[in-house]
Chains A and B, each alone.
Chain A
Amino acid sequence: DAKTTQPNSMESNEEEPVHLPCNHSTISGTDYIHWYRQLPSQGPEYVIHGLTSNVNNRMASLAIAEDRKSSTLILHRATLRDAAVYYCILNQYTDKLIFGTGTRLQVFP
């Protein structure tokens, strides 16, 4: 599976938008982009996924660059509950997710 690069940590203030970047310069045409997050002392949870087009759901938005070499997870209004480690993961048509170390997001009141 292709690798992703994420910043180790980011900070945000409550109620501000947060843009979490992910670089995946070796992405292939059939790689899906997945985002999961892990709240403190919990298992990871699904956030969003996409292939080529930007995606929105109730939790977040996913903006995918035109060349697909990078993507950005957007939290429109960060809350304290959004403090977590966010994982950007690529996979093709396999059954496995290979997690990296992710981005630790701190949210300040």
Chain B
Amino acid sequence: DAGITQSPRYKITETGRQVTLMCHQTWSHSYMFWYRQDLGHGLRLIYYSAAADITDKGEVPDGYVVSRSKTENFPLTLESATRSQTSVYFCASSELGIVTHSSYNEQFFGPGTRLTVL
């Protein structure tokens, strides 16, 4: 399917387990982002990537690992899940950085993954 997809859509895991959330986009966008959304906090940026093999931390990176070996995929791994990582996770992509000298590039969001850590 065209667009940006996330899998799984729902995941229940236990404390201490490793979990990987997948994000795939079909537009060949350069930029990809991972956010988490908790009640009362809005969306918070975890990590982002400007291109394959380039990643950078966002506001709340601790406890997460990302990789970007291919432009279209941006997996997010929780190496040892904790209850505080129970959240809804959104992946997003944009063609370029948000504002360049010649264009505006909106972010397109996936449908989200609801993760529960018991």
B48: contacting residue among A87, A93, A95, A101, CB under 8 A: A95
**A95 contacts B110, CB within 8 Å?**
no
How many angstroms from the CA of A17 to the CA of B35 in the assembled complex? 31
Quick one: closest B residue to A44, CB to CB? Answer: B109
Q: Is A46 an interface residue (CB 8 A)?
A: yes
Q: CA of A16 to CA of B1 in the docked complex: distance in angstroms?
A: 37
Q: How many B residues touch A, CB cutoff 8 Å?
A: 26
Within 8 A of B (CB), among A84-101: 87, 91, 93-101
Q: Which residues of B contact A102 (CB under 8 A)?
A: 42
How far is B50's CA from A67's CA once the two chains are assembled, in angstroms? 33
Q: Shortest distance in angstroms between B103's beta carbon and chain A's nearest beta carbon? A: 12
Q: Are B31 and A95 in contact (CB under 8 A)?
A: yes
* B107 interface hit (Cβ, 8 Å): yes
* Interface 9-mer from B14-22, B63-71, B79-87, B90-98: B90-98
Q: Which of A34, A45, A93, A101 contacts B42 (CB 8 A)?
A: A101
B2, CB-defined interface residue at 8 Å = no
How many angstroms between the C-alpha atoms of A95 and B106 in the bound complex? 10
Question: In the assembly, what is the distance between CA of A93 and CA of B45, in Å?
Answer: 17
Judge whether A49 is part of the interface by a CB distance below 8 angstroms: yes
Contact A95 B98 (CB under 8 A): yes
**What's the nearest-Cβ distance from chain A to residue B108, in Å?**
8
Which A positions have Cβ atoms within 8 angstroms of B? 32, 34, 36, 41-46, 49, 87, 91, 93-102
